[in-house]
Amino acid sequence: MRRTNVTGEATATGGEARTADGTGTTGEIGGPGRTSGPPITPPPHPDGPDRPGNPDGPNRPGEPDSPDRPGEPDSPGRPGEPQHPGHLHHRNRANGPNRRYWRAGFQRGRIELGHLVHNPKEMSGHLINVVVALALGGFVSRTVPGTQVPMTHLTIAGFAAYLLFQVGLLNLPQILVTEREEGALLRLRATPGGIPAYLVAKSVLVVVVALGTLAVLLGSAALLVDGPLPHGLGGWLTLLWVTALGLLAVVPLGAAIGAVLPNPREALALIMLPSMALLITSGAVFPITSLPVVVQKVATVFPLKWMAQGLRSALLPDAARAAEPAGSWELPTVALVLTAWAVIGFLLAVPLLRRATRRESGSRLTERHRKAEQNGAGAA
Amino acid sequence: MTTSLRTSPATTPAAATTPPAPRPAASAHPVIRVRDLRMAYGATDVLHGVDLDIHHGEVFALLGPNGAGKTTTVEILEGFRQRSGGDVTVLGTDPARGGDAWRGRIGLVLQSWRDHRRWRVGELLTHFATYYPDPRDPAELLRLVGLTEQAGQRVDQLSGGQRRRLDVALGIVGRPELLFLDEPTTGFDPQARRRFHVLVERLAREEGVTILLTTHDLAEAERLADRIAMLVNGRIRALGTPAELARQAAARAEVRWTADDGTPRRERTADPSRLVWELHRDADGPIAGLEVRRPTLEDTYLRMLHQEGGDGSGAGERDGEDEDGGPGDGSGERCENGEERVA
């Protein structure tokens, strides 16, 4: 039934068509009359409760073998399936499943966000950064050297950058590793469209969490410690693109890291240290000019410095440029470095995620659980 | 391979490649068709040419000890593992190239899933229904697996058996034509096991779902399966309906008695009556500790495992003579102590 709603133009397989399709579906999630809403209490089947396959059941046993089901309505356009001819279904191949998978992805993202919001432990994990930022921002009272800009503003801007950085490179890998370990990735691999939907869901989750914490941080800082807010339209636009590009720089990278790290516990240890080091050396929370030059040079390779610098340009008055190493915001360089990281991240993430998914199988899962139990860290 | 210990010619009149399935649904196009499947990890061969045909609506049990190659076989069929050689088609497609449409026709229940712990039971099932073109109704499904009351519970609050039933529900939410069940009842209490068996039977009988079950529990295989294949050391050592296999097994009875010097003796024979008569004649009187056992399928299974484990058998006792040509295969089936299982 759902397939009949699909418009013909979505048949185009280009990314734009899919996106348009996907965003179209978001609004419909949970909407009335959509099957995606949880119809937990549907009308009872007339044939009685013991026939789960009512609509289809009577036909199936007598149904001959697979060759007689070529019209499996949603065969996606797989070139390797010549045994599914049926030109009637070619149209549906391209958009029927895709539409379903996008919707599943958004639904999944929404549900996972719900779980996050209702999990006090995880929520406090995200909010503790805001609290630390506020405490630090309220504590510093000097001004940024050489300027009249309160140090608080620099600190808050730096923490804002770090929050984005952390969501992409700390939280996301942890989620990926955990879900891989528990078998969610395998289950989705065994589900048609499961992996695309998973990626959509994770993108939704990461973006919402990042923007949410950012908004909470800037909002509460502005209210409580006289924190910075963008000046004028230009400031807001800068905030927008630096945030977007910053996320693009760290999220694929985080996905790549999550694809290769061994297990949740080790993962945390492995990522935590470098990211703390970067937090300090990137000049996020105090002016980078006060650090040795070598350290400064190293930090320029990584995205955090540029995210922080970009956010400062959005949040701090122009006069604060004086405290920057180059004496200016270097926005073109910010864009360039972040884009470069985004490209690197995608180039790494796609094959690594493929590999991680491909390697998943029941026996590997069993083996890992066995090991985990032997280590006395059995999750169950 | 499959022909070695297979059903007698009388029961399989056709070519060995298409043994008739017990139900009339059998057709010329098996749901799963495997020819000369080989798998090697490095220099180690795990599968040595497995042949299988599994037909529409059939419940097929792949039985074997750990390390026999069960998991490898099934993971190749599921499309999760690349084979080293041989031809495999599952639902008309090579699993190595199975796309989403193919995936959508297959259901999977693995034993070690612990995912989606924070999800609510009903929420999870409803979510997974959205991936399929024609999903089952989640509420119906919860009732089918007996989890209606748990619909609002978090997945990590379920008991082991409930969790597995949820896995089954997730496995069949897309109305698969083929369902893989991997050691489905490991860790179940007897009641849960029984409920699970009823569920599997219902899926197969009422809905014509083809089911491939892997297990090392022979009783379960006998109870559920239309046909059983015993996979030992990467080869199929026996294949047939439970009745056929049991008949084969029972054809070689074991006679036990205590000899004059007090040592326990045993002998396998196709004709226990004759042996007992001979013993009586030799002893010219009652025989101490006389016992005639028709081996069960389980005995055969264990013996097969033991045989494969090494040649440490045949020590002592009056066993090892097999030349009387039981109805079996003559493929070197030897008597042995049968007590210890191979690790």
Concatenate the DSSP letters of all residues of A357-371 into one string.
Answer: HHH--HHHHHHHHHH
Is A68 within the bounds of a domain? no
Same domain? B195 vs B276: no
Is A14 within the bounds of a domain? no
Task: Enumerate residues 141 to 170 of chain B having a beta carbon within 8 A of any beta carbon in chain A.
Answer: 141, 143-144, 151, 170
Contact A379 B114 (CB under 8 A): yes
CA distance A366 to chain B (A): 5
d(CA A246, CA A250) in angstroms, rounded, equals: 6
CA–CA distances in Å: residue B228 to residues B123, B136, B150, B242? 37, 29, 34, 6
Query: Of A139 and B24, which is predicted with more confidence?
Result: A139
3-state secondary structure chain B: CCCCCCCCCCCCCCCCCCCCCCCCCCCCCCCEEEEEEEEEECCEEEEEEEEEEECCCCEEEEECCCCCCHHHHHHHHCCCCCCCEEEEEECCECHHHCCHHHHCCEEEECCCCCCCCCCEHHHHHHHHHCCCCCCCCHHHHHHHCCCHHHCCCEHHHCCHHHHHHHHHHHHHCCCCCEEEEECCCCCCCHHHHHHHHHHHHHHHHHHCCEEEEEECCHHHHHHHCCEEEEEECCEEEEEECHHHHHHHHHCCEEEEEECCCCCEEEEEECCHHHHHHHHHHHHCCCCCCCEEECCCHHHHHHHHHHHHHCCCCCCCCCCCCCCCCCCCCCCCCCCCCCCCCCC
Is B122 within the bounds of a domain? no
Residue B28 pLDDT class (50, 70, 90 cuts): low
Residue B127 pLDDT class (50, 70, 90 cuts): very high
Same domain? B229 vs B274: no
Chain segment B149-200, per-residue pLDDT in tens: 999 999 999 988 888 889 989 999 999 999 999 888 777 778 878 888 888 8
Decide which of B246, B269, B285 is a domain's last residue.
B246
Same domain? B41 vs B100: yes
Same domain? B38 vs B92: yes
Whether the per-residue pLDDT at A153 is higher than 50: the answer is yes
Whether the per-residue pLDDT at B303 is higher than 80: the answer is no
Decide which of B278, B294, B310 is a domain's last residue.
B294
Is A297 within the bounds of a domain? yes
Same domain? B222 vs B258: no
Is B19 within the bounds of a domain? no
Is B334 within the bounds of a domain? no
Q: Which of A168-172, B16-20, B43-47, B151-155 is the least confident region?
A: B16-20
Chain segment B91-105, per-residue pLDDT in tens: 999 998 888 889 999
**Rounded average pLDDT over A140-154:** 82
CA distance B271 to chain A (A): 43
Decide which of B230, B246, B262 is a domain's last residue.
B246
Residue B27 pLDDT class (50, 70, 90 cuts): low
Is B162 within the bounds of a domain? no
CA distance A28 to chain B (A): 13
- State the total domains in chain B: 2
CATH code of the domain covering residue B211 = 3.40.50.300
Is B135 within the bounds of a domain? no
Contact B207 A194 (CB under 8 A): no
Q: Which of A8-12, A230-234, B112-116 is the least confident region?
A: A8-12
Percent of chain B with pLDDT over 90: 31
B249 in A contact zone (CB under 8 Å): no
Average per-residue pLDDT in chain B?
79
Same domain? B90 vs B44: yes
Is B124 within the bounds of a domain? no
Query: Of B336 and A245, which is predicted with more confidence?
Result: A245
| Among the listed residues A356, A360, A363, the one whose alpha carbon sits nearest the alpha carbon of residue B46 | A363
Q: Reduced to 3 DSSP states, what percent helix, strand and coil does chain A have, rounded to the nearest 5?
A: 70, 0, 30
Q: How many CB pairs under 8 A join A and B?
A: 196
Q: Which of A248-252, B112-116, B144-148 is the least confident region?
A: B112-116
Same domain? B262 vs B234: no
Structure tokens at A171: 């939280």
Which residue range(s) make up the domain with B269?
253-294
The whole-number pLDDT of residue B1 equals 39
Write the residue in A63, A103, A366 that is nearest to B130 by C-beta. Answer: A103
Contact A190 B208 (CB under 8 A): no
- State the total domains in chain A: 1
Is B237 within the bounds of a domain? yes
Same domain? B100 vs B183: yes
Contact A45 B80 (CB under 8 A): no
Please tell me the pTM assigned to this model. 0.72
Is A59 within the bounds of a domain? no
In chain B, residues with a C-beta closer than 8 Å to the C-beta of A192 are 100-101, 103-104, 131-132, 174
Write the residue in A41, A66, A191 that is nearest to B103 by C-beta. Answer: A191
Task: Enumerate residues 41 to 80 of chain B having a beta carbon within 8 A of any beta carbon in chain A.
Answer: 56-57, 71-72, 74-75, 78, 80
Is A235 within the bounds of a domain? yes
CA distance B94 to chain A (A): 9
Q: A164 with A250: CB under 8 angstroms? A: yes
Chain segment B228-275, per-residue pLDDT in tens: 999 888 889 889 998 888 887 777 788 999 888 888 998 888 888 899
Q: Which of A35-44, A217-226, A367-376, B277-286 is the least confident region?
A: A35-44
Write the residue in B92, B140, B182 that is nearest to A83 by C-beta. Answer: B92
Chain segment A49-101, per-residue pLDDT in tens: 333 333 333 333 333 333 333 333 443 433 433 344 333 344 344 456 788 88
Same domain? B257 vs B233: no
Is B20 within the bounds of a domain? no
Which residue range(s) make up the domain with A346?
101-363
In chain A, residues with a C-beta closer than 8 Å to the C-beta of B112 are 183, 362, 365-366, 369
In chain A, residues with a C-beta closer than 8 Å to the C-beta of B114 are 182-183, 369, 379-380
CA–CA distances in Å: residue A278 to residues A170, A305, A338? 13, 8, 15
Write the residue in B78, B99, B137 that is nearest to A42 by C-beta. Answer: B137
Whether the per-residue pLDDT at A169 is higher than 50: the answer is yes
Structure tokens at A57: 């059941």
